[in-house]
Structure 1
Amino acid sequence: MVHNIFKGLGIALITPFLEDGSVDYKSLIRLVEYQLDNGADFFCILATTGETPTLTAEEKQKIKDLVVSLVGGRVPILVGCGGYNTAEIVQELQTRDFRGVDGILSVCPYYNKPSQEGLYQHFKTIAAATSLPVVLYNVPGRTGVNMKAETTVRLARDCQNIVAIKEASGNLEQVDEIIKNKPRGFEVLSGDDALTFPMVSCGAVGAISVIGNALPREFSKMIRLQMKGEYDPARKIHHRFQDLFSLLFVDGNPAGVKAMLHEMGYIQNVLRLPLVPTRISTLQRMSEIMKELKI
């Protein structure tokens, strides 16, 4: 099996926009540098939190090239490459420029709701189409289908370059079943900030985090403390940010974290349709909590 290098705090990187809706590359540079300086262990770019469906092919290429250049090999980079048309993803893997990228994150097919056998064949085909490490992404709240633990473990055993799963099912029993039965070398990453503490406690090796965009130092510290077995101080960090976890997603992602980053002075609070900024009431409550936490 290919070795998994995606551990610790992974940043599910946002895409900042200017008031006119164009990509704010200057703010993106500042944000990536801030995250690198404050504990980011790897980046996950051009995925859900990056509003990737709203980006043009030219914008995607420019963002990828920019992040690769900025990171300069200091930490690994995952890039989103998934969808509900297997053949189209295979073509993308064979034609897209993946230079400087260390692996791909591939989400479960959405909308067409395949069976467990369909999910298995889909990801097996994707894994065979690339030499890059593949991180699976199970997020039934978005896709409408849950990839069961036995399907995940089957893929991990049968495909040498499937190295990990970003688990965002919200089902800790399912996560525990994967960790219990997985082959050696395959690992689990949390895809839910609020569940990162219990998932790492169960044996996950890190997270692909939304809140890490804004609070990389604090969130990476929590994960590192857990990895060293220092659960009490890690739990305090987890509890400290519980209210923020819910506010980040109440109006959709990445509306919450973009509002937070705007309050911190990093970006404009702009999203591309069909997404819109978080409600004023959510923003006000978030601002209050940030002041209480001295952020």
Structure 2
Amino acid sequence: MTQFIGTGVALITPFKNDLSIDYDALERLIEYNIENGVEYLVISGTTGESVTITVEEKKALVSFISKVNNGRLPLVLGIGGNNTSSVIDEINTTDLSGIDALLSVSPYYSKPTQEGLYQHFKAIAEASPIPVILYNVPGRTSKNMEPETTIRLANDFDNIIGVKEAGNNVHQYLELLRTKPEDFMVISGDDDLALGVALAGGSGVISVIGQGLPKEFSEMIRLGIAGKAKEAYAIHFRLMPITSLIFAENNPAGIKAVLNELGISSTYVRLPLVEATISLKNKIKQELMVLGKS
């Protein structure tokens, strides 16, 4: 699965002022990221405001992104939830012909046991006709998927090819890297830890800030995977302030403020999220000026 080594970007869903999807902005975003060297695109993740996107909109987004991408980069589609049977139904009724892998989030709110998590992903792996990337994000799900459960799934199912780990826990990353099967991918879901994970043997990142600064961020990750720590950290240190700022209030309001400053898309988000405050927007604008981007 070398196609998923490097930087994937969790695409935002741009909106117009009436909160309908802004497909012109989405096309600009896709082209901007392809032109600036990211390795793959992720559709309908948390950053894409997946929980407030309708079923019809999701189908339209997949169709549109696939058409614009036109086979240039691998595509990963988010299909997950806390109702296992509904997730399987969505897998079975979704046209996956242009999709290279699924990204499936750990069940939120229900707080299953580790055995429950295993059985949930076992069912998904058995239903999916394409590879599956697990997504552990305990800050949003209220339940951590322990490394033992992730590695058990990795060993038991050939089509579970990796995990997007977003627990912001360095020890957990290292435990996954220490115990994983050789060809299983540990992908950072934490932009601030992504370089360290790459240097330690991880496969890269599914990034939020990467879609705003794709050239710089993807180069940093490539250097990290190559073990060129000094050069990679030089980029990391430059990007630290902006990476911190985009998560200061909520995601994706921060990255949407970045993309608005870059002239790619608006700052609109759907409730219950709200736009970044004026104060945060000003800080983001100032930091982009420091980076020579505004």
- What's the TM-score, normalizing by structure 2? 0.98
Q: Contact 1:223 / 1:234 at 8 angstroms: preserved in 2?
A: yes
Tell me which of 183, 186, 197 is aligned to 2:184: 186
Q: Contact 1:4 / 1:186 at 8 angstroms: preserved in 2?
A: no
Structure 1 CA distance for aligned equivalents of residues 105 and 154 of structure 2: 15
Aligned partner of 2:249 in structure 1 is: 251
Structure 1 CA distance for aligned equivalents of residues 176 and 229 of structure 2: 22
- What's the TM-score, normalizing by structure 1? 0.97
Structure 2 CA distance for aligned equivalents of residues 43 and 135 of structure 1: 13
Structure 2 CA distance for aligned equivalents of residues 189 and 227 of structure 1: 12
C-alpha displacement of 1:4: 5.5
Structure 2 CA distance for aligned equivalents of residues 114 and 245 of structure 1: 32
C-alpha displacement of 1:227: 2.1
Structure 1 CA distance for aligned equivalents of residues 199 and 224 of structure 2: 7
Matched, 1:58 2:56: yes
How many percent identity over aligned positions?
A: 48
Q: Contact 2:3 / 2:39 at 8 angstroms: preserved in 1?
A: no
Structure 1 CA distance for aligned equivalents of residues 192 and 181 of structure 2: 26
**1:209-248 matched pairs, under 5 angstroms:** 209-248=207-246
Matched, 1:19 2:17: yes
- Letter of the 1:8 partner, please give it: G
Aligned length: 293
Higher alpha-carbon deviation: 65-74 or 118-127: 65-74
Aligned partner of 2:37 in structure 1 is: 39
Structure 1 CA distance for aligned equivalents of residues 109 and 2 of structure 2: 29
Moved over 2 A (4+): none
CA displacement 1:147-202 (0-9 Å, x = unmatched): 01111000000011000000001111111111111112111111011111111111
Q: Contact 1:7 / 1:41 at 8 angstroms: preserved in 2?
A: yes
What is the root-mean-square deviation in Å for CA atoms of aligned residues? 0.9
Structure 1 CA distance for aligned equivalents of residues 70 and 204 of structure 2: 22
Aligned partner of 1:70 in structure 2 is: 68
Structure 1 CA distance for aligned equivalents of residues 5 and 43 of structure 2: 15
Q: Where do 5+ consecutive residues of structure 2 fail to align?
A: none
Aligned residue for 2:8, secondary structure, equals: strand
Q: Contact 1:4 / 1:163 at 8 angstroms: preserved in 2?
A: no
Aligned partner of 1:166 in structure 2 is: 164
- Letter of the 2:216 partner, please give it: E
Tell me which of 140, 143, 156 is aligned to 1:142: 140
Q: Contact 1:78 / 1:103 at 8 angstroms: preserved in 2?
A: yes
Aligned partner of 2:88 in structure 1 is: 90
Q: Where do 5+ consecutive residues of structure 1 fail to align?
A: none
Aligned partner of 2:105 in structure 1 is: 107
CA displacement 1:57-82 (0-9 Å, x = unmatched): 22111110111111121211000000
Q: Contact 1:133 / 1:161 at 8 angstroms: preserved in 2?
A: yes
Q: Contact 2:164 / 2:187 at 8 angstroms: preserved in 1?
A: yes
- Letter of the 1:231 partner, please give it: A
Aligned partner of 1:131 in structure 2 is: 129
Structure 2 CA distance for aligned equivalents of residues 184 and 225 of structure 1: 21
